[in-house]
Amino acid sequence: MIHNKDTIPQRPAPKGTIGPIAWLRGNLFNGPVNSIFTLLGLYVLYLLVVPTIQWAFIDADWVGSSREDCSRAGACWVFINARFSQFMYGLYPSSEYWRPNIVFAMFAAIIAWMVIPRLPFKRWVALLALLVFPVIAYVLLHGGYFDLPRVSTHRWGGLMLTLLLATVGMVGALPIGIVLALGRRSNMPIVKTFCVIFIEFWRGVPLITILFMASVMLPLFLPSEISVDRLVRALIGLTLFQSAYMAEVIRGGLQAIPKGQDEAAAALGMTYWKRMGLIVMPQALKMMIPGIVNTFISLFKDTTLVMIIGLFDLLGIVQAALSDSNWLGFSLEGYVFAAFVFWIFCFSMSRYSQYLERKLNTGHQR
């Protein structure tokens, strides 16, 4: 029989099992193979980082107004500086920049409100964002009302256009996606077949063929007296494309809701639409948000394709600026800038979606 009366006190771990040296030994130099990998990794890092910093910062030119100001070996950020407002607004008249700026600010405020968990009235803000904001944004950007001079859509461009294409495509795709997803789960054979064909068709073809179709075939489909704006054509293509992907995300979310929820609602005497609208959808939507954010990231990147049908989104306007004879030879700077902007947006969105996923998972994990 043993009976230990005394509590053995907590002691620190022996030296060499914790602390920075132990960490180094455990994570970087455990065994000869790993040590070689570590050294190799350090070498690769050195090869990548040093010239990049040299080019982008140390040897770079920052201030000036023309290419003559770029005399050093590194990057010529003067080019970006000189073209910055074009990269943001396209060919939008510079006297009217305040209009997109207000829209940008409102957009940022709405996003911030939706993303920051503490803020209240999320539902109402979302409703306002979906119903009122588009109208304000359209009136401000397009003009023609309240003495605002008209700015036709072919002058829109840059980051503004990229954001516009992505958000409109997304918001337009959401309701279509919901209908398609419900249709695909329906037990009416014809409805189900229609939805499956529709979804699989748009998912099966490359976006570029859809954009070609929208720009070439859409005018053929409509009576000759109706002409559709080039931007609207691209938006229709993007929305249809996106709605198919959205439908699949929504279907996944609906499948994750236990059948018991629907059964319980039915047992309370609810009709199909009440069951969907009050019980199933609110729960499913929460689970779908990470998936929706992920498809939005794809869409955001895919908007670059509109330059192929002649719209000047961020990449399109950068590409156009690169062929300006005053600024030939700065393609690296142009692409690095555009890549940086896209990266910031996509990376922060993907981090947000990972955060949401973690938050959702806490309920299920042990």
Partner 1 sequence: MTQAATNASDLMVEMRNVNKWYGDFHVLRDIYLEVKRGERIVVCGPSGSGKSTLIRCINHLEEHQKGEIVVGGIPLTQDVKRIEQIRRSVGMVFQHFNLFPHLTVLENCCIAPMWVQKKPRKEAEALAMEYLERVRIAEQATKYPGQLSGGQQQRVAIARSLCMHPDVMLFDEPTSALDPEMIKEVLDVMVELAEEGMTMICVTHEMGFAKKVADRVIFMDQGQIIEENAPEPFFNNPQSERTQLFLSQILGH
Partner 2 sequence: MSVRPNIRPVGHKPPFWRDRAKRALIFQIILVAVVAAFLAYIIHNTQANLNARGITTGFGFLSNTAGFGIVQSLIDYSSQSSYGRTFVVGLINTLLVGGLGVIAASIIGFTVGIARLSPNWLIARLANAYIETFRNIPVLLQIFFWYFAVLRTLPGARDSMAFGEAFFLNVRGLYLPQPLFESGFGLIPATFVVAIIASIALIIWNRRRHEATGKRLPAGLISLVIIFGLPLLVLIATGVPVTWEMPELRGFNFRGGITIIPEFLALWLALSIYTASFIAEIVRSGIQAIPHGQTEAAQALSLPRKLVLRLVVIPQAMRVIIPPLTSQYLNLIKNSSLATAIGYPDLVSVFAGTTLNQTGQAIEVIAMTMAVYLVISLLVSMFMNWFNARVALVER
Smallest distance, partner 2 to C-beta of residue 92, A: 22
**Binders of partner 1 in range 17-36 (CB under 8 A):** 17-18
d(CA 213, CA 220): 10
Contacts 24+ apart (CB under 8 A), 333-339: 333/75, 333/76, 333/77, 333/79, 333/80, 334/79, 334/80, 336/56, 336/75, 337/80, 337/87, 338/87, 338/314
Q: Which pair of tokens denotes residue 197?
A: 């064909």
Place of tokens 């809701």: 257
Binding mask 56-95 for partner 1 (x = CB under 8 A): ----------------------------------------
Write the DSSP string, 158-220. HHHHHHHHHHHHHHHHHHHHHHHHHHHH-S-HHHHHHHHHHHHHHHHS-HHHHHHIIIIIHHH
Taking CB under 8 A as the binding criterion, the range among 102-110, 124-132, 188-196, 233-241 that sits at the site for partner 2 is 188-196
Q: Does 150 bind partner 1 (CB under 8 A)?
A: no
- Contact partner, 18, from partner 2, partner 1, none, Cβ < 5-8 Å per class: partner 1
Specify the DSSP element, H or E, that contains 295: helix 281-302
Q: Does 365 bind partner 2 (CB under 8 A)?
A: no
Q: Are 210 and 241 within 8 A, CB to CB?
A: yes
Binding mask 209-228 for partner 2 (x = CB under 8 A): x--xx--xx-xxxxxx----
Residues with Cβ within 8 Å of 65's Cβ and at least 6 positions away in sequence, in order, are 78, 82
- Contact partner, 205, from partner 1, partner 2, none, Cβ < 5-8 Å per class: partner 2
Q: Are 279 and 270 within 8 A, CB to CB?
A: yes
d(CA 119, CA 6): 52
Q: Which is nearer to partner 2, 1 or 33 (CB)?
A: 33
Tell me the number of residues near partner 2 by CB under 8 A.
Answer: 55
Residues with Cβ within 8 Å of 203's Cβ and at least 6 positions away in sequence, in order, are 244, 245, 248
Q: Does 15 bind partner 1 (CB under 8 A)?
A: no
CA-based end-to-end distance of the chain: 37
Q: Does 4 bind partner 1 (CB under 8 A)?
A: yes
Smallest distance, partner 2 to C-beta of residue 283, A: 24
Taking CB under 8 A as the binding criterion, the range among 35-43, 100-108, 145-153, 163-171 that sits at the site for partner 2 is 35-43
Taking CB under 8 A as the binding criterion, the range among 14-22, 50-58, 200-208, 298-306 that sits at the site for partner 1 is 14-22
Beta bridge partners of 158: 313
Question: Which of residues 2, 33, 63, 135 is near partner 1 by CB under 8 A?
Answer: 2
DSSP three-state, residue 116 = coil
Q: Does 267 bind partner 2 (CB under 8 A)?
A: no
**Binders of partner 2 in range 316-335 (CB under 8 A):** 319, 322, 329, 331-332, 335
Burial class (CB in 10 A: 0-12, 13-18, 19+), 328: exposed
Residues near partner 1, by CB under 8 A: 1-5, 7-8, 10-14, 17-18
**Residues engaged in binding partner 2 (CB under 8 A):** 27-28, 30, 34, 37-38, 41-42, 44-45, 188-191, 194, 200-201, 203-209, 212-213, 216-217, 219-224, 297, 301-302, 304-305, 307-308, 315, 319, 322, 329, 331-332, 335, 338-339, 342-343, 346-347, 350
